[in-house]
């Protein structure tokens, strides 16, 4: 089992499954969602239209099309309100749902973005702690997934994940 944290463009990561921080419509948007839809090509949008959206905290899977991934796992993350509206639990559910689908589809490698920390304003330090804990718990019992790569868009986000991993391993 390996858990890697890198800075980069998730659409360039080679993996069996690439996670999309989607909106509930699954029809594309800004940030990671828009980048994945652009890189995958119009076929992704066509398939997403057949899925009829997805609830926050859940996940759905499609083909990867023009991406360097066999699958895209779409998960709508929570919008940060006040931290008392179930946001931490919903974010944990996003990661659990994505990793469960990766396991079900026998994906050996998974590339994940930092879900909800962009336009959804989830505090990066808290998001990183939730993500790292959830991913490490999953990797400890997974029979299919061998490597999870957290792909951070900027150095500040990567630093938050590095700190969360260091704290979790103490």
16 in active site: no
> Using an 8 Å Cβ cutoff, are 21 and 118 in contact?
yes
Active-site position among 33, 82, 154, 162: 33
DSSP string, the chain: -EEEEEES-GGG--EEEEEEEE-TT-S--SHHHHHHHHHH-HHHHHHHHTTT---TT--EEEE-TTSSEEEEEEEEPPPPSSS-SSHHHHHHHHHHHHHHHHHHTT-SEEEE--TTSSTT---HHHHHHHHHHHHHHHHTT-SS--EEEEEESSHHHHHHHHHHHHHHT-
Residue in the structure block whose two tokens are 């029809």: 27
Q: How far apart are CA 88 and CA 77, in angstroms?
A: 10
Q: Return the active site residues.
A: 33
């Amino acid at each position: 089992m390996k858990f890697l944290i890198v800075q980069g463009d998730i659409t360039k990561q080679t993996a069996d499954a690439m996670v999309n921080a989607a909106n509930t419509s699954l029809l594309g948007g800004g940030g990671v969602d828009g980048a994945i839809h652009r890189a995958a090509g119009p076929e992704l949008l066509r398939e997403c239209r057949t899925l009829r959206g997805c609830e926050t905290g859940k996940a759905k899977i499609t083909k990867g099309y023009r991406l360097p991934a066999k699958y895209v796992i779409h998960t709508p993350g929570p919008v940060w309100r006040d931290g008392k509206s179930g946001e931490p639990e919903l974010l944990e559910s996003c990661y659990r749902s994505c990793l469960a689908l990766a396991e079900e589809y026998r994906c050996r490698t998974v590339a994940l973005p930092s879900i909800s920390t962009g336009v959804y304003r989830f505090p990066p330090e808290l998001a990183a702690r939730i993500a790292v804990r959830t991913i490490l718990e999953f990797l400890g019992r997974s029979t299919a997934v061998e490597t999870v790569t957290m792909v951070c868009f900027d150095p500040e986000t990567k630093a938050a994940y590095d700190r969360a991993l260091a704290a979790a391993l103490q």
